[in-house]
Every structure is written in structure tokens, then in C-alpha cells.
Amino acid sequence: MWLPIMGMIVGIFLGLLTDIRIPEEYSNYLSIAVLAALDTLFGGIRAHLQNIYDEKVFVSGFFFNILLAASLAFLGVHLGVDLYLAAVFAFGVRLFQNIAVIRRILLTKWSTNQQKTEKN
Amino acid sequence: MDKPKKVSFTLIAVIVGFMIAIQFQTIKKPVERDTRDIWQLREDLLKEKELQSGLLKEIRSNEEKLSAYESKRKQSKEEVLKETLNELKAEAGLTDITGPGIILKIEPVYEEIKLGEPVTATVSPDLLKRLQNELNMYGAKQVSIDGQRVINSTVIRDINKETKIDGHAIKDLPIEIHVVTDSLKNAEKLYNHMQVSKSAEEFFIDNMRLTVSQPKPSVTVPAYENPIRVLNMNTAGDDKGGNT
């Protein structure tokens, strides 16, 4: 469980140390991609906690969601419609749902653990 | 979660972290607030305007040059005239001329100089004129005597017992006469003529010796320095000449 968090911290450090900056006009796409990636990550954590985690689904979902979000934003820019809002909405809603599910699972786990300790 | 699953999860976490960091850096730019007051703004504006005017000046000068070049190309007639003028100047003796030629040297006869007596030998104008004529006869083109260019209107005369060429007094011997000819061949010819000319003997009578140098490929004759005064010349009329 701690390894992914460590990985994320390492990634953030790497990103900050390399001092890479992408052009302003592409930051929209990256923000959408980040949102998609976060969504997938939390989806993966939830799936893991629910014991339905599938690596193929997770990895393919990660890249596919990122690409889809970015291309949606791209299409939106060229159509003159803020299509990236759709991606933001979808991913935002899913992010909240996932986090809510994770919270509930963790809560039940915690309460069962406490009950066990009380029994003992 | 078994090991390969963990690894892939971690890798993706790293990628997500990386993306977040980049996005963060891209968005987080130092916010530069414009805190200049009106005077600073005016100063900056002034600087920019100066820059602008400098650039405009540069552009203008370049355009001027361009148009000047174009007009020059159109007015090649002027160029021809200038060339003609330069040719005429060279012909009139207003330019330095370097070419093949010989150098004559007039010096007192040292054997005749007696100890304690002043050297009295002076070049008489008649002798010089004669020498000049001889040089001209045998192919000299440009001549300078003691650094004075001899042109068509040059006068060699005796003023107060001093031989003067266009006002330049010839006092001290030895003097050098530079002669420029058309070609080295002509210089050679002139040299041969001067070897057997009578002038040398006549100079010797006046206690002077005329020595002629070997033809040289490059002898320099200085330009005529005084202004040329044209007193008795008129431009020819349109009518035919020769009707006297």
C-alpha cells in the first residue's frame, strides 16, 4: 500500500527537479490528463480494496482515459465547444464516487478491526 | 496484491506524480505584478520610443542607400563624365603618376670645387629648358624637376639671378629630374638618347654633371600643386576652326 504513495512522491520530486515546463497552450490538455490519471488511480485503489483489481483493466484504463480526455479537449478546442468540461465533469464525479467508496470500505474495515479488538 | 501488480501500480503512480508536478510547475509561474508608477511608465515608454526612432532612422538610411544605388545605376552617364574628368586631370598634371622612366641627376663637378671657395654652379633656365625640350623630344610624358611637376603652362625663368620653376627656386645642387614614359621600352630609348645628348656636355660647361640612371620600372612624378590659371585661353566656338 505504501509503495504507490512512495512512487507518487518520487514522481513529484522528479518532476519538480527536472524543471520541465510545457507551453501554456498545452497546459489544458495536461490538466485533463492529470485528472484522468488521478481518477484511474483512485479507481484502482478502490478495486483493490474491493478485491476486484485487474491489472490489465487498470493499466489500459490509465492510458486510454488519458488519451481520451486529451483528445476530447483537443476536439473541443477545434469545435469551439468547451468539451473538456465534459471530461472534467465525468472524471470529477467518478473521483468523488471512488473516494467515497474507498472511505466507506476503510471505515467498515476500521470498525470491524475495532470490534475484533474489543472481542479480544 | 502480488509483486508485479504492485510494480505496475507504483509505475503508474510515478507517472501520475510526474504529470502533477509538471502541471504544477506550468501553472505556477511567478506572478509579475506591474508596480510601476506613471513616471516609471513614462520612462519606459521613452526608452521604447527612442528604440523605435533609432530603428526608423536605420531603415531610412538603408532606404536612402538603396535609392542612391539605383539612381547611380541609372546615371551611369555621370560616371562616364567623372571618368573623363579624371583622365583630363591626369593629362593636365593634377595627379601623381607612377610609371616606367628614368631619373636624371644634376650635380656640381666635384673636381672643380676648390677648397675654401663657395660652390657657384647654378642651373640656368636656358639649360633647363633645353633639357626639357630634349626630354620631350625623345618620348618623355611626365617630368618633374626637383619635385616640381612640369606641365604645359610651367615657366622656367630667372628671377633675381635665381632659377625658378613656377615660383620654386632651384638653389641647391644636386637636383633630380624624374621622367615618366609610356613604357619601359620608351624609357630605354630615352635613356639611350640621353646618353649621347648634347645637354650633358652643356651642363659640363657650366661646371655641372648630368648623370642618367638606368631605366626603372617605377618612377613617381608628383602632382602639380599650384592652381592652374587659364588667362589667354578661350573655348572654341561652334564655327569651324582654322579660318584665320
Out of B6, B12, B22, closest to residue A62 by CB: B12
Which residue segments constitute the domains of chain B, with CATH numbers given?
96-221 (3.30.70.1880)
pLDDT at B167: 78
A contact test, residue of B10, B22, B24, B27 with most A CBs within 10 A: B22
Q: How far is CA A33 from CA A25, A63, B25, B55, in A?
A: 14, 9, 15, 46
Residues of chain A with pLDDT below 50 are: none
Mean pLDDT of B130-135: 85
Report ipTM for this prediction. Answer: 0.82
Tens of pLDDT, residues B209-233:
888 888 888 888 888 888 777 777 7
Confidence of residue B144 (pLDDT cuts 50, 70, 90): confident
Contact A58, A66 (CB under 8 A): no
Q: What is the pLDDT of residue B48?
A: 94
Contact residues on chain A for B26, CB-CB shorter than 8 A? 21-22, 24, 27, 30
Q: Across the interface, do B12 and A16 touch by the CB < 8 Å criterion?
A: no
B positions 18-77 inside 8 Å of A (CB): 18-27
pLDDT at A96: 93
CB contact under 8 A, B14 and A15: no
Cα dist from A18 to A85, B21, B25, whole Å: 30, 10, 10
Q: What is the pLDDT of residue B47?
A: 94
* Confidence (pLDDT) at A48: 85
Contact B26/A22, CB-based, under 8 Å? yes
pTM: 0.43
The helix (H) or strand (E) run that includes residue B106 is strand B97-108
Give the residues across from B150 on adjacent strands: B143
pLDDT confidence of B59, banded at 50, 70, 90?
very high
The CB-side HSE value for B144 (13 A sphere, CA atoms) comes to: 21
| For residue B114, pLDDT beyond 70 | no
- How far apart are the C-alpha atoms of B121 and B227, rounded to whole Å? 31
Percent of chain B with pLDDT over 90: 10
User: Residue B139: its pLDDT value, please?
Assistant: 80
Q: CA B184: distance to chain centroid?
A: 24
Helices (H) then strands (E): counts for chain B: 6, 9
Q: Do A13 and B15 touch (CB under 8 A)?
A: no
How high is the pLDDT of residue B116?
67
Q: What is the pLDDT of residues B158-207, one digit of tens each?
A: 888 788 888 788 877 778 888 888 888 888 888 888 888 888 788 888 77
pLDDT at position B113 is 67
Residue B55 has a pLDDT of 95
Instruction: Quote the mean pLDDT of chain B.
Output: 82
CA distance B126 to B146: 16
Choose from B48-62, B71-85, B92-106, B114-128 the range with maximum mean pLDDT: B48-62
pLDDT of residue B1: 56
The yes-or-no verdict on residue B121 having pLDDT over 70 is: no
Residue B12 and residue A37: Cβ atoms within 8 Å? yes
Contacts of A51 (CB under 8 A, 6+ apart): none
* Angstroms from B17 CA to nearest CA on chain A: 4
Q: Could you tell me if B150 and B225 are in contact, meaning their C-beta atoms sit under 8 angstroms apart?
A: no
Q: Which residue has the cell 632651384?
A: B170
pLDDT tens sequence across B14-25: 888 888 888 888
**CB B122, CB B169: distance < 8 Å:** no
Name the band, by pLDDT with cuts 50, 70 and 90, for residue B244: low
Minimum-distance CB partner of B17 among A10, A19, A40: A10
- The cell numbers describing A25, all together, are 497552450
pLDDT of residue A100: 93
Distance from CA of A115 to the nearest CA of B (A): 25
- Closest residue in B to A55 (Cα) is B5
What number is the average pLDDT over the span B94-121? 77
The number of angstroms, rounded, from the C-alpha of B197 to the middle of its chain's C-alpha atoms is 36
User: What pLDDT score was predicted for residue B131?
Assistant: 85
C-alpha–C-alpha distance, residues B108 and B29, integer Å: 96
- CB atoms A7 and B17 under 8 Å: yes
d(CA A30, CA B157) in angstroms, rounded, equals 102
- Per-residue pLDDT, B239: 63
Determine the average pLDDT of the residues in B28-50.
Answer: 85
Confidence of residue B43 (pLDDT cuts 50, 70, 90): very high
What is the pLDDT at residue A93? 93
Q: Are B9 and A58 a contacting pair at CB < 8 A?
A: yes
Task: Specify the pLDDT at position A104.
Answer: 92
